[in-house]
Amino acid sequence: MISVDTKKKELVGDFKNAGREWELKSQPEEVRVHDFEIREPDKGKVAPYGVYDLRRNVGWVSVGVDHDTAAFAVESIRRWWRWMGRQSYPKAKRLLITADSGGSNGARVRLWKWELQQLATETGLEISVCHFPPGTSKWNKIEHRLFSFISQNWRGKPLISHEVIIDLIAATTTAAGLTVKSKLDTNIYPKRLKVSDQQMAELQLRRDKFHGDWNYSLLPRS
């Protein structure tokens, strides 16, 4: 069982980051006064997409440099499964995902379901999804078991590069045993990709009797 979501997008560069950090009084770390986006190849914005394993208290964060789309969301889950999930659960036949109702993993996003179908077929897993009702996104475990600790860990530290962001995320730990792994995702994810009615009809989609729009499963194609 995993909890997924996109953390707030962050500007990459020597910008102010909320919070306080101990520094020598004579050597403060200087940052820019204005938070205008820097147009450089290794700057701009990043979208951290998180996958939190509730049973093992382990997090995975894909740091994307392009658009936060459903394709990016499912690719982040794919990478978690490839590098962490299948080693931890080699006999798994089903994956349960809890997610918000909006954003790149929204309940009404066709591309989200289409990409999950591809993942189910690739892995052989039955992928079940449970969306939280609108207005209840803070119930999602990833918010206060992973993202909140990442924010605490990098408070007061300017996110000056992709490497710094990856390192700060991966260095996040808690007394309860949380560990996190993070990788940069440099893929391009075009916006406004359309999924046709015919493609939707081809999905191996099984809706639950209770709120089938929010609770459903995607079965692997034989």
Write the DSSP assignment of 51-76 as a string of letters. Answer: EEETTTTEEEEEEESS---HHHHHHH
User: Quick count: other Cβ atoms within 10 Å of Cβ 35?
Assistant: 11
Cα separation, 139 vs 141, in Å, equals 6
Determine how β-strand 44-53 pairs with β-strand 58-64. Answer: antiparallel
Q: What is the pLDDT of residue 6?
A: 96
What global pTM score does this model have?
A: 0.91
Q: By the 8 A CB rule, do 171 and 61 touch?
A: no
Classify burial at 118, counting beta carbons within 10 Å of its beta carbon; exposed 0-12, middle 13-18, buried 19 or more: middle
Angle between helices 110-123 and 70-80 (to 10 degrees): 20
Question: pLDDT in tens for each of the 222 residues of the chain?
Answer: 999 999 999 988 877 777 777 767 777 677 776 666 666 666 789 999 999 999 999 999 999 999 999 999 999 999 999 999 999 999 999 999 999 999 999 999 999 999 999 999 999 999 999 999 988 888 999 999 999 999 999 988 888 899 999 999 999 999 999 999 999 999 999 999 999 999 999 999 999 999 999 999 999 997
Q: Cα–Cα distance between 49 and 84 in angstroms, integer? A: 15
Return d(Cα 125, Cα 78) in angstroms, integer.
Answer: 12
Domains of the chain: 2-16+38-218 (3.30.420.10)
Pairing mode, if any, of strands 94-99 and 10-12?
unpaired
Cα pseudo-dihedral 204, 210, 213, 214, rounded to 10: -100
**Type and span of the H or E element at 62:** strand 58-64
The backbone region for 44, taken as left when phi is positive above 0, alpha when psi lies in -120 to 50, beta otherwise, is left
CB 139 within 8 A of CB 132: yes
**What is the separation, in whole angstroms, between the first and last Cα of the chain?**
24
Q: How many CB atoms lie within 10 A of CB 70?
A: 22
**pLDDT at site 48:** 97
Question: What kind and span of H or E run contains 163?
Answer: helix 162-170
User: 140: alpha, beta or left, given left = phi > 0 and alpha = psi -120 to 50?
Assistant: beta
